[in-house]
Amino acid sequence: MFASISELLPRPSVMGVLNVTPDSFSDGGRHLEPAAAFARAEELVRQGAAIVDVGGESTRPGSEGVSVDEELRRVVPVLERLGELRAPYSIDTSKASVARRALELGASLVNDVTALRADPDLVDVVAERGVALCLMHMQGEPRTMQDDPRYDDVVSEVASFLEDRLAFAVARGIREEQVCLDPGIGFGKTLEHNLLLVSRLDEIAALGRPVLVGHSRKRFLGRLLGDVASTSGPLAPALAITALAFERGAAIFRVHDVPEHVEALAAVRAVVDAQALVPGR
Ligand code: HH2
Protein backbone atom coordinates (compact mmCIF):
# COMPACT_ATOMS: atom_id res chain seq x y z
CA MET A 1 0.00 0.00 0.00
CA PHE A 2 1.26 3.48 -0.89
CA ALA A 3 2.09 5.19 2.40
CA SER A 4 2.72 8.84 1.65
CA ILE A 5 3.83 11.17 -1.09
CA SER A 6 6.80 12.24 1.06
CA GLU A 7 8.05 8.67 0.97
CA LEU A 8 7.73 8.56 -2.83
CA LEU A 9 9.21 12.05 -3.23
CA PRO A 10 11.29 13.20 -0.25
CA ARG A 11 12.06 16.92 -0.02
CA PRO A 12 13.63 18.05 -2.30
CA SER A 13 12.78 15.90 -5.33
CA VAL A 14 13.05 16.77 -8.99
CA MET A 15 10.21 15.79 -11.32
CA GLY A 16 11.42 15.59 -14.93
CA VAL A 17 8.97 16.76 -17.62
CA LEU A 18 8.20 14.46 -20.56
CA ASN A 19 5.59 15.96 -22.87
CA VAL A 20 4.20 13.58 -25.49
CA THR A 21 2.50 16.34 -27.44
CA PRO A 22 3.08 18.07 -30.77
CA ASP A 23 2.62 21.53 -29.24
CA SER A 24 3.98 21.85 -25.68
CA PHE A 25 5.75 25.15 -25.29
CA SER A 26 9.23 23.81 -24.70
CA ASP A 27 9.55 20.16 -25.72
CA GLY A 28 6.54 19.74 -28.03
CA GLY A 29 6.98 17.23 -30.86
CA ARG A 30 10.26 15.76 -29.65
CA HIS A 31 9.01 12.65 -27.86
CA LEU A 32 6.02 11.46 -29.86
CA GLU A 33 7.68 8.15 -30.76
CA PRO A 34 7.65 5.70 -27.81
CA ALA A 35 11.35 4.89 -28.31
CA ALA A 36 12.33 8.58 -28.21
CA ALA A 37 10.09 9.16 -25.19
CA PHE A 38 11.57 6.19 -23.33
CA ALA A 39 15.12 7.33 -24.11
CA ARG A 40 14.30 10.79 -22.77
CA ALA A 41 12.69 9.31 -19.62
CA GLU A 42 15.82 7.23 -18.99
CA GLU A 43 17.97 10.30 -19.49
CA LEU A 44 15.89 12.31 -17.01
CA VAL A 45 16.29 9.55 -14.39
CA ARG A 46 20.02 9.26 -15.06
CA GLN A 47 20.28 13.02 -14.55
CA GLY A 48 18.67 12.73 -11.13
CA ALA A 49 14.90 12.99 -11.60
CA ALA A 50 13.06 11.17 -8.81
CA ILE A 51 9.96 10.87 -11.01
CA VAL A 52 9.08 11.46 -14.68
CA ASP A 53 5.88 13.39 -15.43
CA VAL A 54 4.24 12.25 -18.68
CA GLY A 55 1.70 14.54 -20.32
CA GLY A 56 -0.32 14.11 -23.52
CA GLU A 57 -2.15 17.45 -23.53
CA SER A 58 -0.53 20.87 -23.63
CA THR A 59 -1.86 23.39 -21.12
CA ARG A 60 0.12 26.35 -22.46
CA PRO A 61 -1.78 29.65 -22.59
CA GLY A 62 -4.20 29.62 -25.54
CA SER A 63 -4.29 25.85 -25.95
CA GLU A 64 -7.64 24.18 -26.74
CA GLY A 65 -7.32 20.78 -25.10
CA VAL A 66 -7.58 17.37 -26.76
CA SER A 67 -10.13 14.53 -26.74
CA VAL A 68 -9.80 11.50 -24.46
CA ASP A 69 -9.07 9.30 -27.50
CA GLU A 70 -6.31 11.57 -28.75
CA GLU A 71 -4.71 11.84 -25.32
CA LEU A 72 -4.81 8.05 -24.88
CA ARG A 73 -3.39 7.58 -28.39
CA ARG A 74 -0.44 9.80 -27.47
CA VAL A 75 0.42 8.52 -24.00
CA VAL A 76 -0.46 4.81 -23.89
CA PRO A 77 2.34 3.57 -26.22
CA VAL A 78 4.82 5.57 -24.13
CA LEU A 79 3.44 4.39 -20.79
CA GLU A 80 3.61 0.80 -22.03
CA ARG A 81 7.38 1.26 -22.36
CA LEU A 82 7.83 3.01 -19.01
CA GLY A 83 7.36 -0.24 -17.06
CA GLU A 84 11.05 -0.78 -17.85
CA LEU A 85 12.04 2.53 -16.26
CA ARG A 86 13.92 2.26 -12.97
CA ALA A 87 11.97 5.14 -11.41
CA PRO A 88 8.34 6.02 -10.79
CA TYR A 89 6.38 8.08 -13.27
CA SER A 90 3.32 10.31 -13.05
CA ILE A 91 0.55 11.10 -15.49
CA ASP A 92 -0.22 14.76 -16.14
CA THR A 93 -3.91 14.59 -16.97
CA SER A 94 -7.31 15.89 -15.96
CA LYS A 95 -9.20 12.98 -17.50
CA ALA A 96 -10.35 9.97 -15.47
CA SER A 97 -10.02 7.50 -18.39
CA VAL A 98 -6.44 8.57 -19.10
CA ALA A 99 -5.52 8.40 -15.41
CA ARG A 100 -7.18 4.97 -15.04
CA ARG A 101 -5.23 3.52 -17.97
CA ALA A 102 -1.96 5.09 -16.76
CA LEU A 103 -2.45 3.67 -13.27
CA GLU A 104 -3.17 0.20 -14.70
CA LEU A 105 0.13 0.47 -16.56
CA GLY A 106 2.02 1.46 -13.39
CA ALA A 107 1.88 5.23 -12.86
CA SER A 108 2.43 6.29 -9.24
CA LEU A 109 0.99 9.80 -9.23
CA VAL A 110 -1.83 11.71 -10.93
CA ASN A 111 -0.92 15.32 -11.67
CA ASP A 112 -4.15 17.22 -12.27
CA VAL A 113 -3.77 20.90 -13.20
CA THR A 114 -7.51 21.36 -12.59
CA ALA A 115 -7.38 20.01 -9.01
CA LEU A 116 -10.18 17.47 -9.68
CA ARG A 117 -12.57 20.05 -11.19
CA ALA A 118 -12.54 19.03 -14.87
CA ASP A 119 -13.65 15.40 -14.70
CA PRO A 120 -16.01 14.37 -11.89
CA ASP A 121 -14.82 10.74 -12.11
CA LEU A 122 -11.15 11.43 -11.47
CA VAL A 123 -11.49 11.74 -7.70
CA ASP A 124 -12.83 8.17 -7.45
CA VAL A 125 -10.06 6.79 -9.66
CA VAL A 126 -7.40 8.27 -7.35
CA ALA A 127 -9.27 7.25 -4.17
CA GLU A 128 -9.74 3.64 -5.35
CA ARG A 129 -6.11 3.22 -6.40
CA GLY A 130 -4.68 5.05 -3.38
CA VAL A 131 -1.91 6.65 -5.48
CA ALA A 132 -0.26 10.05 -5.08
CA LEU A 133 -2.04 13.15 -6.35
CA CYS A 134 -1.03 16.69 -7.20
CA LEU A 135 -3.73 19.36 -6.85
CA MET A 136 -2.85 22.55 -8.76
CA HIS A 137 -4.38 26.03 -8.73
CA MET A 138 -5.47 27.56 -12.02
CA GLN A 139 -7.67 30.62 -12.57
CA GLY A 140 -9.87 30.08 -15.65
CA GLU A 141 -8.87 27.58 -18.33
CA PRO A 142 -5.76 27.36 -20.53
CA ARG A 143 -7.47 28.86 -23.61
CA THR A 144 -8.20 32.19 -21.87
CA MET A 145 -6.38 32.11 -18.52
CA GLN A 146 -3.80 34.77 -19.39
CA ASP A 147 -6.34 37.27 -20.78
CA ASP A 148 -6.71 39.37 -17.63
CA PRO A 149 -6.10 37.39 -14.44
CA ARG A 150 -7.20 39.25 -11.29
CA TYR A 151 -6.97 38.63 -7.56
CA ASP A 152 -7.43 40.77 -4.44
CA ASP A 153 -4.66 38.83 -2.71
CA VAL A 154 -3.26 36.13 -4.95
CA VAL A 155 -1.44 34.21 -2.21
CA SER A 156 -4.33 33.93 0.22
CA GLU A 157 -6.78 33.12 -2.61
CA VAL A 158 -4.53 30.36 -3.97
CA ALA A 159 -3.96 28.99 -0.44
CA SER A 160 -7.66 28.92 0.34
CA PHE A 161 -8.45 27.29 -3.03
CA LEU A 162 -5.88 24.55 -2.37
CA GLU A 163 -7.20 24.05 1.15
CA ASP A 164 -10.74 23.61 -0.25
CA ARG A 165 -9.64 21.18 -2.96
CA LEU A 166 -7.67 19.14 -0.40
CA ALA A 167 -10.77 19.01 1.83
CA PHE A 168 -12.85 17.91 -1.18
CA ALA A 169 -10.38 15.13 -2.03
CA VAL A 170 -10.27 13.92 1.57
CA ALA A 171 -14.08 13.98 1.85
CA ARG A 172 -14.18 11.71 -1.22
CA GLY A 173 -11.83 9.11 0.25
CA ILE A 174 -8.34 10.30 -0.70
CA ARG A 175 -5.91 10.28 2.23
CA GLU A 176 -4.19 13.57 2.97
CA GLU A 177 -0.84 11.75 2.91
CA GLN A 178 -1.38 11.02 -0.80
CA VAL A 179 -1.57 14.68 -1.78
CA CYS A 180 0.82 17.46 -2.74
CA LEU A 181 -0.26 21.03 -3.56
CA ASP A 182 0.87 23.34 -6.35
CA PRO A 183 0.22 27.11 -6.65
CA GLY A 184 0.15 26.79 -10.46
CA ILE A 185 2.82 29.24 -11.54
CA GLY A 186 1.76 30.78 -14.88
CA PHE A 187 -1.79 29.42 -14.80
CA GLY A 188 -4.02 32.50 -14.86
CA LYS A 189 -1.34 34.71 -13.27
CA THR A 190 0.49 37.90 -14.21
CA LEU A 191 4.22 38.34 -13.63
CA GLU A 192 3.46 40.02 -10.31
CA HIS A 193 1.16 37.19 -9.22
CA ASN A 194 3.86 34.60 -9.99
CA LEU A 195 6.46 36.56 -8.04
CA LEU A 196 4.20 37.04 -5.02
CA LEU A 197 3.46 33.31 -4.97
CA VAL A 198 7.15 32.47 -4.94
CA SER A 199 8.05 35.08 -2.36
CA ARG A 200 5.23 33.98 -0.01
CA LEU A 201 5.39 30.27 -0.79
CA ASP A 202 5.73 29.56 2.95
CA GLU A 203 2.00 30.41 3.22
CA ILE A 204 1.20 27.56 0.83
CA ALA A 205 3.59 25.22 2.65
CA ALA A 206 1.80 26.13 5.90
CA LEU A 207 -1.19 24.12 4.63
CA GLY A 208 0.83 21.11 5.79
CA ARG A 209 1.22 19.22 2.52
CA PRO A 210 4.33 18.97 0.30
CA VAL A 211 4.40 21.83 -2.21
CA LEU A 212 5.23 21.26 -5.89
CA VAL A 213 6.38 24.17 -8.06
CA GLY A 214 6.45 24.20 -11.87
CA HIS A 215 8.09 27.45 -12.99
CA SER A 216 10.56 25.81 -15.39
CA ARG A 217 10.82 27.45 -18.85
CA LYS A 218 7.73 29.56 -18.28
CA ARG A 219 7.38 32.82 -20.14
CA PHE A 220 7.56 35.15 -17.12
CA LEU A 221 11.16 34.06 -16.39
CA GLY A 222 12.50 36.07 -19.33
CA ARG A 223 10.84 39.18 -17.93
CA LEU A 224 12.77 39.00 -14.64
CA LEU A 225 16.09 40.03 -16.12
CA GLY A 226 15.30 43.72 -16.69
CA ASP A 227 18.26 45.27 -18.52
CA VAL A 228 20.48 42.23 -18.04
CA ALA A 229 21.19 40.42 -21.32
CA SER A 230 20.22 36.75 -21.21
CA THR A 231 22.85 34.13 -22.04
CA SER A 232 21.14 31.06 -20.56
CA GLY A 233 17.57 31.71 -21.70
CA PRO A 234 15.14 31.05 -18.86
CA LEU A 235 17.48 28.65 -17.01
CA ALA A 236 19.35 31.05 -14.70
CA PRO A 237 16.17 32.78 -13.45
CA ALA A 238 14.53 29.35 -13.01
CA LEU A 239 17.43 28.15 -10.85
CA ALA A 240 17.24 31.31 -8.73
CA ILE A 241 13.52 30.72 -8.19
CA THR A 242 14.16 27.09 -7.32
CA ALA A 243 16.57 28.18 -4.58
CA LEU A 244 14.11 30.71 -3.14
CA ALA A 245 11.19 28.27 -3.37
CA PHE A 246 13.14 25.54 -1.58
CA GLU A 247 14.01 27.92 1.23
CA ARG A 248 10.34 28.83 1.56
CA GLY A 249 9.29 25.20 1.84
CA ALA A 250 8.83 23.79 -1.68
CA ALA A 251 9.44 20.03 -1.85
CA ILE A 252 9.01 18.94 -5.48
CA PHE A 253 10.38 20.78 -8.51
CA ARG A 254 8.76 20.03 -11.89
CA VAL A 255 11.48 20.94 -14.39
CA HIS A 256 12.76 20.38 -17.93
CA ASP A 257 16.47 20.96 -17.13
CA VAL A 258 17.02 18.22 -14.59
CA PRO A 259 20.81 18.14 -14.01
CA GLU A 260 21.03 21.89 -13.43
CA HIS A 261 18.19 21.80 -10.89
CA VAL A 262 19.62 18.77 -9.11
CA GLU A 263 22.95 20.59 -8.76
CA ALA A 264 21.36 23.87 -7.66
CA LEU A 265 19.28 22.06 -5.03
CA ALA A 266 22.35 20.24 -3.70
CA ALA A 267 24.06 23.61 -3.21
CA VAL A 268 21.00 25.21 -1.58
CA ARG A 269 20.63 22.24 0.74
CA ALA A 270 24.26 22.51 1.80
CA VAL A 271 23.63 26.09 2.91
CA VAL A 272 20.32 25.33 4.63
CA ASP A 273 21.74 22.23 6.34
CA ALA A 274 24.73 24.24 7.63
CA GLN A 275 22.36 25.96 10.06
CA ALA A 276 21.78 22.61 11.76
CA LEU A 277 25.53 22.35 12.46
CA VAL A 278 25.54 25.47 14.68
CA PRO A 279 25.43 24.36 18.35
CA GLY A 280 22.39 25.54 20.28
CA ARG A 281 20.19 26.04 17.21
N1 HH2 B 1 2.91 23.20 -15.76
C2 HH2 B 1 2.68 22.66 -16.98
C3 HH2 B 1 2.08 21.40 -17.09
N4 HH2 B 1 1.75 20.69 -15.98
N5 HH2 B 1 1.68 20.48 -13.64
C6 HH2 B 1 1.89 21.00 -12.41
N7 HH2 B 1 1.55 20.31 -11.31
N8 HH2 B 1 2.46 22.24 -12.25
C9 HH2 B 1 2.81 23.01 -13.32
O10 HH2 B 1 3.30 24.15 -13.11
C11 HH2 B 1 2.59 22.50 -14.63
C12 HH2 B 1 2.01 21.19 -14.75
C13 HH2 B 1 3.05 23.42 -18.21
O14 HH2 B 1 4.37 23.15 -18.60
P15 HH2 B 1 4.79 22.15 -19.77
O16 HH2 B 1 4.40 20.76 -19.43
O17 HH2 B 1 6.21 22.33 -20.09
O18 HH2 B 1 4.01 22.67 -21.03
P19 HH2 B 1 2.69 22.21 -21.78
O20 HH2 B 1 1.53 22.39 -20.87
O21 HH2 B 1 2.63 23.12 -22.97
O22 HH2 B 1 2.84 20.77 -22.16
Residue 94: CB within 6 Å of ligand 1?
Answer: no
Most confident of the ranges 11-20, 26-35, 142-151? 11-20
Residue 122 has a pLDDT of 98
Atom 8, ligand 1: which residue's CA is nearest? Answer: 214
250 lines ligand 1 (CB under 6 A): no
Any atom of ligand 1 within 6 Å of the Cβ of 15 = no
The confidence score (pLDDT) of residue 281 equals: 61
Contact 89/52 with Cβ under 8 angstroms?
yes
Question: Percentage of the chain surpassing pLDDT 70?
Answer: 99
pLDDT digits (tens, 9 = 90+) for 190-214: 999 999 999 999 999 999 999 999 9
Instruction: State the catalytic residue, choosing from 74, 217, 218, 248.
Output: 218
- For the question of whether the overall pTM of this predicted structure is more than 0.85, the answer is yes
Atom of ligand 1 nearest to the CA of 217: 17
Ligand 1 centroid vs 184 CA: distance in angstroms? 9
% of the chain residues with pLDDT over 90: 83
**What is the whole-number distance in angstroms between the Cα of residue 23 and the centre of ligand 1?**
12
HEC readout, the chain: CCCCHHHHCCCCEEEEEEECCCCCCCCCCCCCCHHHHHHHHHHHHHCCCCEEEEECCCCCCCCCCCCHHHHHHHHHHHHHHHCCCCCCEEEECCCHHHHHHHHHHCCCEEEECCCCCCCCCHHHHHHHHCCEEEEECCCCCCCCCCCCCCCCCHHHHHHHHHHHHHHHHHHCCCCHHHEEEECCCCCCCCHHHHHHHHHCHHHHHCCCCCEEECCCCCHHHHHHCCCCCCCCCCHHHHHHHHHHHHHCCEEEEEECCHHHHHHHHHHHHHHHHHHHHCCCC
Binning pLDDT at 50, 70 and 90, where does residue 277 land?
confident
Among 54-63, 106-115, 247-256, the range scoring the smallest mean pLDDT is: 54-63
Ligand 1 center–CA 275 separation, angstroms: 34
Q: What is the pLDDT of residue 229?
A: 85
46: annotated active-site residue:
no
User: What is the mean pLDDT of the segment spanning 172-176?
Assistant: 98
Say if CB 170 and CB 146 are below 8 A apart: no
